[in-house]
Amino acid sequence: MARTAYVTDLKSLQGECSANYMRMIRLVGDMESGQQRDIALHGDDQHFGDLHLKILEQAPYTTMVEVTQSGPLDAVIEGPKMRVHLYHDVRMAEVTDFQRERHFSGRYRYPNARMHQPDEKLQLNRFLGEWLAHGLAHGHAYDMPELP
């Protein structure tokens, strides 16, 4: 049986990036360069850690945000860390760095030396979406009365 090459699902990737833009805007609001927002993640009277959003750079059409999480396992393993670019003109947010790795291709041959999945870029943006959705649903920002 012949293997078919992975074809990038551009429609899904663009949809995910658009949804992530809206989530990020709800979370960062009117923050400016250098500011950070910490969001406590709670569930059933338990604290699961904090989601940290830091504005690294701002320009008229783009904003770069660092997204990290700290929690009870910090002494054992480093929490996830992403750099996300917000493109205001097209209203999209894209993961550009994850765990110190940069610039992901839309598709990869599999297997490959770095063991990326064929749709690595889409999976990273979906992960960001789930992470932000969780923060919106179960988070409480320390510097805001309530998340919108």
Token pair for residue 43?
Answer: 């569930």
Longest dimension (CA), the chain: 58
Q: From 12, 14, 27, 26, select the one nearest 92 (Cα to Cα).
A: 14
Query: For the whole model, what pTM was predicted?
Result: 0.80
Whole-angstrom Cα distance, residue 143 to residue 108?
Answer: 41
Alpha-carbon torsion (106, 116, 89, 21), positive or negative: positive
106 phi and psi, to 5 degrees? -70, -25
Q: From 64, 79, 82, 68, select the one nearest 126 (Cα to Cα).
A: 82
> How deeply is 18 buried, as exposed, middle or buried, from its count of CB atoms within 10 A (0-12, 13-18, 19+)?
middle
> Any bridge partners for residue 47, and if so which?
42
Token pair for residue 15?
Answer: 């949809």
**Number of neighbouring beta carbons within 10 Å of residue 17:** 24
Whole-angstrom Cα distance, residue 13 to residue 114?
Answer: 22
49: left (phi over 0), alpha (psi -120 to 50) or beta: left
Q: Give pLDDT tens digits along the chain (148 positions).
A: 656 665 667 798 899 999 999 999 999 988 999 999 999 988 777 888 899 999 999 999 999 999 999 987 777 778 889 999 999 999 999 999 887 666 666 555 566 565 556 567 888 899 899 999 989 988 877 665 454 4
Check residue 37 and report its DSSP letter. E
